[in-house]
Amino acid sequence: MEERKKQVLNAIITDYIVNAEPVGSRAVAKKYDLGVSPATIRNEMSDLEEEGYIEQPHTSAGRVPSAKGYRYYVDNLMEREVLNPAQLMQVKEVLAAETSEIDEFMRSCCNMISALTNYTALAAIPEQSRSTLSNIQLVQVNAYQVLVIMLASTGIIRHKMIEVDAPITEDELSHIEQMLRQNLIGKEIKHISYELLRDLLADYHLRERMAKQALNMLEHLTNDEEHKIFTGGVMNMLSQPEFHDIEKLKNMFSLIEEEAKIEELLNSAGSDRLTVTIGGEMPVEGAKDCSMVVANYFVNGQKAGSIGVLGPTRLNYGRTVSLMEFIAEELSSALPDNNKNKK
Amino acid sequence: MEERKKQVLNAIITDYIVNAEPVGSRAVAKKYDLGVSPATIRNEMSDLEEEGYIEQPHTSAGRVPSAKGYRYYVDNLMEREVLNPAQLMQVKEVLAAETSEIDEFMRSCCNMISALTNYTALAAIPEQSRSTLSNIQLVQVNAYQVLVIMLASTGIIRHKMIEVDAPITEDELSHIEQMLRQNLIGKEIKHISYELLRDLLADYHLRERMAKQALNMLEHLTNDEEHKIFTGGVMNMLSQPEFHDIEKLKNMFSLIEEEAKIEELLNSAGSDRLTVTIGGEMPVEGAKDCSMVVANYFVNGQKAGSIGVLGPTRLNYGRTVSLMEFIAEELSSALPDNNKNKK
DNA sequence: ATTAGCACTCGATGAGTGAGAGTGCTATTA
DNA sequence: TAATAGCACTCTCACTCATCGAGTGCTAAT
């Protein structure tokens, strides 16, 4: 594409991102100082429209970027925004906070991201497929209730109360605990299967219901985590003029409430360091007039989880991309620390 | 108030609750069959307006109930709705679910309430002031990390990872554990103060940072809980015509996101079995055009917690009150079971 | 190749209008 | 004396119409 056409496209998108209103040739000529008259710009715009980079809501309105236009912008024109030091510090602080609970950590990440971007933040809990069980503990509450606590190598802690039919003694419990520890600690969590547990418990002739419940519980622990989704700043959508329509809002919110869909969105981004998905590229019906920036973070070179930002297609890509790249990077280096000893 | 006036007021409110539109004299005469002509009804309405029970958005619109009108309705006219058996069953099922985790339990309560009412559900976690510590457990994760698990007599379970400066041995840990157990189990949680803990730990000459952290953590455990707030069905607000205005929505949502305000709302209801708060009676700015039905539930005759419904002043009081009364009652009888042995 | 000029298009705005809903008042009726 | 019928009045809502202005596309001139 010729240089000047790029400049015009860039101007249109930059302006539209800020003002959310169709951009006319005069406005481009005035504000972006390309050294040519509006008429020339009009010609360029006419070409750009023919090629599908911009659209006209109606004759005699200005032009609006199309999905294709945004795509070209993100791939070729966009300049990353230099983040201001105060924001960088804020990110570092939040990530450095000693939150050994992954839930709380993810939640505060989401809140931070949404506060910094004014969009909606998405996060998927780090995948557990590679993590191992690092400890398991059974605590007797009373004769009928046992609290099971599980620690994963990623620092996740889960507990669950399970109930048994017949009273259980301390001795029995520590037996079971030892058995579980011997057989399960160090195992990859995704390898702890129903079958494995059943075999283990069968050997020990445990009471039927107890066994069932323990299995049930462990299954929950291993499965739940992979699918846990966090969001933040959902209400930020309200400030975006594109969602001033109640119907659109409803659609959006009901989408965000469906964890499965959010997960699909985050997963659709693959395992590159950073992915930008624009409008129609979205894999989920109902998100077609949104854009998304997803960053993956890595532990030991392996994808550990995803964080993302969801906003209108008129997203401030430059800023958001810079920010998410930075956060993902910081996250990659912060996360392993959570499981090792500090200092 | 004369019988017929009551009937007219009742008709207006009933109609307005359903249709959300000003009610005219003709509509009242037609639908509610009082045996008099619209003209007569107009006279009654004129009186009702003079006395402040209803209002006119403008001349030649119908009448709309005022806060005073709703108040009179709730106190004198309203008929509780008979709940259908399917709904009752649903409530019982949700409450009977074996969720020994209070968080999850409260969350599912909120979801149930919002699903049944189509309004927003609020819940405050049971107050911990009367509950006692029933167990405390320390789990060594590695030399520098200790997982603390606390069980309250109400069935609440909390865990927190704490980190220590210098390595700690199993022996030391079980020492501390025993000491804590001996001194704290059975104590009312609100009596476990910073000072008490400091004294305890001082006796044992524990490492300074460890002590600090343990204290910090226990403080969190004792305080956090009292302030925990749950909400559900916030998006239901979107379907209420009174919130079709984006500005109102924003206000509402930013109110709901402030836990302190929600807590204030719930607490304002006092400790009666059930309280209805209407419009201007709301203690929190920004909730003035909402109404709220709060029910308290009780354990051993003591107020244990609150659940509430927040909606427009045009709330279906009859239905909501019946439902909340029922849920609170079920909750009162379900809750203690969670801590005792079943069967 | 660029630009100035100009006619044209289309949405937004605001005034004007008629229909409809609902009231309040008054005279009449039971 | 209470209830009612009738009627004028008020106010909103939806619709139409004219106007305005932003912005374009085209053409002719530079």
Residue A340's pLDDT is 42
Structural contact between residues A311 and A72, judged by C-beta atoms closer than 8 angstroms: no
Calculate how close chain B gets to A257, using CA atoms only, in Å.
9
User: Is the model more confident about A59 or about A221?
Assistant: A59
Which band of pLDDT confidence, cut at 50, 70 and 90, is reported for residue B56?
Answer: very high
Relative orientation angle of helices A38-50 and A25-32, to the nearest 10 degrees? 120
Tens-digit pLDDT profile for residues A139-150: 887 777 788 888
Kindly give, in sequence order, each residue whose CB lies less than 8 Å from that of residue B81, ignoring residues fewer than 6 positions away: B316, B318, B319, B322, B323
> Does B205 have pLDDT greater than 80?
no
Q: Check CB contact under 8 Å for A151 and B151.
A: no
Q: Token pair of B149, please?
A: 């698990």
Task: Report angle CA A62, A63, A67 to the nearest 5 degrees.
Answer: 160
Q: Lowest-pLDDT range, A72-81, B216-225, B250-259, B329-338?
A: B216-225
Average the pLDDT over B187-211 and give the result.
69
Split at pLDDT 50, 70, 90, the class of A190 is confident
Q: Name the pLDDT band for B302 (thresholds 50, 70, 90).
A: confident
Dist. CA B261–CA A218, nearest whole Å: 38
Q: What is the pTM of this model?
A: 0.85
Q: Over 90: is that where the pLDDT of B225 sits?
A: no
Residues (117-176, chain B) with CB within 7 Å of strand D atoms: none
pLDDT in tens, A5-41: 999 999 999 999 999 999 999 999 999 999 999 999 9
For residues B63 and A331, give the distance between their C-alpha atoms in angstroms, rounded to a whole number: 59
| pLDDT (0 to 100) of residue A141 | 76
Torsion of CA B51, B53, B58, B62, to 10 degrees: -120
pLDDT tens sequence across B87-141: 999 999 999 886 666 778 889 999 999 999 999 999 987 666 667 888 888 888 7
Q: Which residue has the higher pLDDT, A212 or B280?
A: B280
pLDDT band with cut points at 50, 70 and 90 for residue A336: low
Q: pLDDT value at position A47?
A: 96
- Per cent of chain B over pLDDT 90 is 55
Share of chain A above pLDDT 90, in %: 55
Taking the C1' atom of every nucleotide in all shown strands and the CA of B61, the nearest one is: C22
Nucleic strand D near CB of residue B61 (< 7 Å): yes
Chain A nearest C-alpha distance from B170 (Å): 15
Q: Given a cut of 50, is residue B342 above it in pLDDT?
A: no
- Region A112-138 average pLDDT: 86
Q: How many residues does chain A have?
A: 343
First to last CA, chain A: 53
Q: Which residue has the higher pLDDT, B304 or A232?
A: A232
Higher pLDDT, B196 or B115: B115
B341 has pLDDT over 60? no
Across A316-324, average pLDDT: 97
Name the nt closest to A45 by C-alpha to C1': D24
Q: Is B89 on the interface with A (CB under 8 A)?
A: no
What is residue B220's predicted lDDT score, i.e. its pLDDT?
64
Using the CA of A63, which nucleotide's C1' is the nearest one? D23
In angstroms, the first-to-last Cα distance of chain B is 53
Tokens encoding A290? 């949104």
